[in-house]
Structure 1
Amino acid sequence: MAAIISATAFSNNEVAYIAWEIDGPVIPGCLGFNIVREFLNAAGDVIEAKPLAAYVAFKGQHNPDGLAQNTTVWPVQKFNWRDLTLRKRRSALERREQKLKVRYCIRAVGHFRDGLEKVEAVPESHFDRNSKRQIQHTYEGDPIALGYLTPEFRTNVMDVPADRKPFTSTFTNGILSTQFIVRILEEDGKITPGELEDRLRQPGDFLRNYLAGETLPLIKNFFAQPGGRFHAALYELEDEQLEEFLVAHAERLDLILSDAGSGSGKDEDERPAAKKKRATSAAAKKKAATRKSKKVTLYDTRNAAARRRLQQLARKRDTAFTLQHRMFNGSGHIGHNKFIVYVDDAGVAKSVLTGSTNWTWSGVAGQSNNCIRIDDEQIAAAFLAYWQRLHKDALPIPKPLSAKATGANQSDELKSDNRSAVTGKLTGGGTFECWFSPNMPGKAQPPAKTVKRPPPPPPDLDRLFSLMRKARKAIFFLVFMPSRGGANSIVAEAVDLGIKDTSLNVVGAISDTQAMWGYEASRKTETGAKIPASSPHVFQQGGVSVVRATALTDKEIGRELGDFRLVEKLTVGRAIIHDKILVLDPLDPDNCVVAFGSHNLGYKASYSNDENLTIVRGHRALAEAYAVHVLDVYDHYRFRAVEAEVNAGKKPKKGKTSTGKEKQGWVGFLDTTDTWQQKSSHRMSRYFTG
């Protein structure tokens, strides 16, 4: 009799990843798996059990409203799955308590027949805030009666979140391309222009807090440390709540704030009124009028408002707050850090806050990001020393601050001092390496993709490449924009390793279209015809599976959420995935590796930018948490990427909602026979079940 023979589960602060294996290539008659989450008390008793949410219908069915059913109705046709509502409730914008004990019960199901235990379909509903009543979830098409084919099989029991000291890792939930977000915004009957951005900007908004996860509380609690001082280096600062954190603790704050954002404007409007020269002659007046109307590029548009407020604080007499402007303003370099070091009253660096999360409303609630607190004096001291090097490496201040900073560049002294890592052992096991950028002296920029023999990699990436070549079973990554086509970055290295060693599992997701593996820039043929730029949605070869983030509202998918004009108003920027994460062999207790920070994991970051990169080895709990985050984001976008690849150029089929409104929704996808097993990969399930 076919059966499930192993199953395991891993989690981070937000979601869980479940994998299972069977005792043969297929289970005859299997239509998928029912997965039930079981919450346990301290004694190990089940206090709540609920099947996991499912959105994809069987062929012949249709889910036009995009409402959740569960795996008693639409089973999982894979050998691994994500529990997206481990902490987040599917029916409301609420979060479960932090300390949980959880396991999963998995059973194969097929068409119900005599001799099988029937699967009782569990109804799903949600509370509609507008009508103040429970809304029963429906779908189109005839239900399929299911029966159990295998006995119950349970995973290990997890503590959520697991103890990961000295690390406290958090992950944002800013994956916006879901019907759930649309439904929340439509609760008042309409989606207005800019509504999503307005809500994500608003401190205390329940949707903002829901998408930010535990990132905002982590930052708030970091500032709650008593006495001492905070030394911060920030790239972007465009969030009211985070700005308030800085203002509230300004007397204990030393801030290096870089420039961010640019746009067009009138140069005269940016000059202080007292310093404008008054035109006296007719010719001078004409010249002044021409200059006033001339459009120029203005820099630091994103940080300008917060900078002005902080400048006013810094100018106050007897203030202990210091503000240092680090303005690159169009020079090709950026001050890309997002970290804060806490130093106690005795002058000892105690902890650091770092990660990929920019201090913007989109960073905390509109993108996929990670933010991590590290309570380790050695690591904190390394970041403090780097902060002090940045402080010493003062840049000329443009006048006005919005003007182009021609030739702005970090000093060779700073670059040379950054060429070696700070290393050490972690309390409780494992090691760390802290790398800082830029670390390539001179004015040279990173080599372009066209260079046939690029120079050796920068020291931080050289170290990462070395660790990647030692990976035995798995390489996982999330990146925003390391380089064009992934060249001279961890993307090219990972794909190359996976192609050469087909036993290696290489799984990654890329945000920027130009960074996708296989990207081709626009070019002209010999006859002068223009070939537009192209970027695949999926690269699949052997054990390598790389996707680029394609929003559910993307025109390339050919499946929109309701009125396309409304859906377009949900856009919050191109950095859907803003993480910069590399995870190697997360199940290996001695050799697992996690790399995180502000570093975009390509040559340019090391050559040109102020960056930080922390590499942790031999800390399995942290590696598992980051691996779950990578797989969560990857799986979220894989379905969309595959769909976009298949439907490229096709017109979407239209469906109707329960109210008669045309809407695409989730078209039937699940097979109604057991043939799906022949197409489903076991690579991830075999790796995670060991």
Structure 2
Amino acid sequence: MPVRIFATANCDDVVIFWRIDEPLADCWGFAVEREEKRGDGRVVRTVLDNRVGFKADKIKPGDRRPSTEWPFQRFSWADHSVDTGDRVRYRVVPMIHDGTHLKQNLAERSGWTPWLEVSSHAGSDAAVVFNRGLAISQFMARYLEKLRVDHGLETLKDALTYFKETLDDHELPIRRFLSGVLRTELLAVLQDARKKKQHVFGALYELADQELIGELAKFGSRGHLVLANGSIQQKKGETIAEARKRDENKAARTLLRGKDLEIHDRMIAPGALGHNKFLVVASGTSNPAPLAVWTGSTNWTKTGLCTQTNNALLVKNRDFAAKYLAQWARLRDAKSGFPAALVNSNATAKKVTLRSGKADIWFTRAPNGVDLAAIDEVVNGAREAVLFLMFQPGGTATLGSIRRRMQQPGRLYVKGVVSTLPPEHAADEKAVNVTTVGDARQRRLDLDVIQPEGFSTPFAAWAATVTRKEFLTTQGGVLGFAIVHSKVIVVDPFTNPVVISGSHNFSGSASRVNDENFVILRGNSELALEYAVHVLAVYKHYRWTAYVADMQRRHRRPFSELRESPDWQDGHLKGASKREIDFWVR
């Protein structure tokens, strides 16, 4: 029986799954073919490369070969080599070893998938975009080593410091690559609004990226910001009132006021965070009419754009935008406080019907955890799957709810990455002790929910990566506080799709202390699958690095060579691996 295949895309990646009903005789893996439909009508066929080879090929760092030579011994692949605007389709071919050579089994190969467009569009009124902020990666390992050598730097830390400094250069290729479609789409939103002489109303936590500040400056009096003071920490002997006079956004605040933008100070750190990252586009002059909203997890900084995993959601709907503009006005009027009127207004969801589904918009600080209860309702209502990315959620709020669902019967498909995993019962998201959790067999390393790790020892075709300690400034590193900064939950994308996304960290502090926003979007399968591709691509990436790091800690050699037999299939066609295949290939 031919291989069955499924593929789905977002603006930056394609995820491919395939399945067979029973092991194939003499199958040493699969080749994956891609066809791309060019603008001139030509169709170009490519065989995707594999980095894992056979032992006899004496693999060196950076080696790769077509999967007809080094077949994939797995049943899924994420194609990161596509670009926005590409139209592609895929086919999978079993590679059979006849005793001497590998040959394609054409009789059992899959059909072609439908044509996919690599695009941010997710329905008639929504778009979702992502960056490529995977600093713990093979690509960055090789880039940083070249940077170190080319500039005569002594250590990796020196190279990381230099790399971070260079990200201020707007034309730098690595900045453009890492910021990806997220940056280009945000610039397009700002430039289109300015060209049409529209207004923008932003509520921002951090504003330090010079390119984005420059674009905002061009709006002049048509730019309106509620600007927080970042994540100020109270110093020893300092009162909270004294600490709140300090401002991480001072340079941007001063410059934009000098360009005639309307800037409202929201100086609530320490003690709380003005953690929003939303922007409303509105038309008109004396009483601008809201048109669209840009929201999500991305801070307006070079690290938000380039070194953290982030997402953004653009919704073009007047009613939806009106709800965000009303919240902007409430924040403006609240100044640097939390009046009862503001908190009470956040007690219920703002409901909107979109052409692509239904939306419940939540703002915080909210009374009595009503926002977390709404998220729990979604998680507890999952019937097939929960996929997620989180920053620092704490152990007893949403992550705790997901853990409880994982312990229940029914084999819910769960895949997630948490930038910093807390102890299971920790209420404070600052606790950071546990490395991995999961719901399958009891074993030392369970990889359903993982924390990003790098590995410091090269092996086979893999270079040593930036490690977690070298990344996090809280552990003496260089790049920042967040590795995964997206805040996304996807539930049942095929059957009853729900997506939750915004600035909210799914934590108790986000609910009861901070300014936050998130939206629960129901009924848009296209949007849910695009977010699911993002989650899965990040998960597969960090699942591998977590596995390698764990093996190296135990002084064991990670999987790094293809098996020269068909036995590799056995472990993939049962248990959790088969459940994953069954979920994606229906």
| Alignment TM-score > 0.5, same fold | yes
Displacement of 1:330: 1.6
Displacement of 1:414: 0.9
Inter-partner Cα distance in structure 2 for 1:46 and 1:559: 34
- Does 2:397 align with 1:488? yes
Change in CA separation of 1:301 and 1:646 when aligned onto 2, cut-off 3 Å? farther
Q: Out of 69, 72, 79, which is 1:76 matched to?
A: 72
Inter-partner Cα distance in structure 1 for 2:546 and 2:135: 15
More divergent stretch after superposition (254-263 vs 610-619): 254-263
2:309–2:486 CA contact under 8 A, matched in 1:
yes
Q: Out of 211, 227, 239, which is 2:178 matched to?
A: 211
Inter-partner Cα distance in structure 2 for 1:347 and 1:495: 45
- Give 2:420's aligned residue: 512
- Give 2:370's aligned residue: 459
Q: Out of 101, 109, 118, which is 2:103 matched to?
A: 118
- Does 2:489 align with 1:587? no
Q: Out of 313, 319, 325, which is 2:265 matched to?
A: 325
Inter-partner Cα distance in structure 1 for 2:244 and 2:344: 32
Change in CA separation of 1:552 and 1:104 when aligned onto 2, cut-off 3 Å? same
Give the TM-score of the pair, scaled to structure 2.
0.86
- Does 2:281 align with 1:342? yes
Change in CA separation of 1:465 and 1:556 when aligned onto 2, cut-off 3 Å? farther
Q: Out of 350, 358, 361, which is 2:302 matched to?
A: 361
Change in CA separation of 1:357 and 1:556 when aligned onto 2, cut-off 3 Å? farther
- Does 2:513 align with 1:608? yes
Q: Out of 200, 207, 210, which is 2:167 matched to?
A: 200
Counterpart AA for 2:30: F
- Give 1:180's aligned residue: 139
Change in CA separation of 1:559 and 1:458 when aligned onto 2, cut-off 3 Å? farther
Inter-partner Cα distance in structure 1 for 2:465 and 2:526: 44
- Give 1:170's aligned residue: 129
- Give 2:435's aligned residue: 536
1:335–1:611 CA contact under 8 A, matched in 2:
yes
Change in CA separation of 1:568 and 1:420 when aligned onto 2, cut-off 3 Å? closer
Q: Which runs of 5+ in 2 are unaligned?
A: 472-476
1:236–1:258 CA contact under 8 A, matched in 2:
yes
Q: Out of 46, 50, 54, which is 1:50 matched to?
A: 46
2:10–2:120 CA contact under 8 A, matched in 1:
yes
Displacement of 1:676: 2.2
Change in CA separation of 1:362 and 1:53 when aligned onto 2, cut-off 3 Å? farther
Superposed, which structure 2 residues align to 1:285-684 within 5 Å?
300=246, 302-313=248-259, 319=260, 321-331=261-271, 333-345=272-284, 347-395=288-336, 410-427=338-355, 429-440=356-367, 458-483=369-394, 486-489=395-398, 491-513=399-421, 515=422, 534-541=433-440, 545-553=447-455, 561=463, 568=470, 571-588=478-495, 591-650=496-555, 668-680=560-572, 681-684=577-580
Inter-partner Cα distance in structure 2 for 1:100 and 1:311: 41
Counterpart AA for 1:676: W
Q: Out of 15, 29, 33, which is 1:32 matched to?
A: 29
User: Aligned with 2:314: secondary structure?
Assistant: strand
Alignment deviations for residues 139-165 of structure 1 (CA, whole Å, 9 cap, x no partner): xxxxxxxx7783343222212226422
RMSD across aligned positions (CA): 3.3
Alignment deviations for residues 498-538 of structure 1 (CA, whole Å, 9 cap, x no partner): 2203331011111014x3758899xxxxxxxxxx9742235
Change in CA separation of 1:520 and 1:304 when aligned onto 2, cut-off 3 Å? closer
1:495–1:506 CA contact under 8 A, matched in 2:
no
- Give 2:15's aligned residue: 17
Counterpart AA for 2:583: Y
Alignment deviations for residues 54-78 of structure 1 (CA, whole Å, 9 cap, x no partner): 2233456664423433322332222
Change in CA separation of 1:537 and 1:469 when aligned onto 2, cut-off 3 Å? closer
Inter-partner Cα distance in structure 2 for 1:672 and 1:149: 22
Counterpart AA for 2:26: G
User: Aligned with 1:102: secondary structure?
Assistant: strand
- Give 1:233's aligned residue: 203
Inter-partner Cα distance in structure 2 for 1:504 and 1:510: 18
Inter-partner Cα distance in structure 1 for 2:540 and 2:317: 33
Q: Which runs of 5+ in 1 are unaligned?
A: 88-97, 120-146, 269-295, 314-318, 396-408, 441-456, 522-531, 654-665
- Give 1:100's aligned residue: 86
Superposed, which structure 2 residues align to 1:82-161 within 5 Å?
82-87=78-83, 98-113=84-99, 118=103, 150-161=108-119
Displacement of 1:22: 0.7
User: Aligned with 1:48: secondary structure?
Assistant: strand
2:198–2:283 CA contact under 8 A, matched in 1:
yes
Alignment deviations for residues 253-285 of structure 1 (CA, whole Å, 9 cap, x no partner): 1111101144799999xxxxxxxxxxxxxxxxx
Change in CA separation of 1:118 and 1:466 when aligned onto 2, cut-off 3 Å? same
- Give 1:687's aligned residue: 583
Counterpart AA for 1:251: S
1:480–1:577 CA contact under 8 A, matched in 2:
yes
- Give 1:222's aligned residue: 189
- The structure that is helix-richer by fraction is 2
Change in CA separation of 1:519 and 1:335 when aligned onto 2, cut-off 3 Å? closer
Inter-partner Cα distance in structure 2 for 1:620 and 1:604: 31
2:291–2:316 CA contact under 8 A, matched in 1:
yes
Change in CA separation of 1:505 and 1:533 when aligned onto 2, cut-off 3 Å? closer
Displacement of 1:31: 2.0
Displacement of 1:673: 2.2
Displacement of 1:418: 0.5
Q: Out of 232, 243, 260, which is 2:213 matched to?
A: 243
Counterpart AA for 1:16: V
The structure with the larger Rg is 1
Inter-partner Cα distance in structure 2 for 1:518 and 1:18: 36
User: Aligned with 1:601: secondary structure?
Assistant: coil
User: Aligned with 1:213: secondary structure?
Assistant: helix
1:499–1:542 CA contact under 8 A, matched in 2:
no
Alignment deviations for residues 193-217 of structure 1 (CA, whole Å, 9 cap, x no partner): 2222123232111110011111122
User: Aligned with 1:359: secondary structure?
Assistant: coil
Alignment deviations for residues 32-73 of structure 1 (CA, whole Å, 9 cap, x no partner): 211011113589x76111122322334566644234333223
Displacement of 1:644: 2.3
Inter-partner Cα distance in structure 1 for 2:233 and 2:371: 33
Displacement of 1:630: 0.4
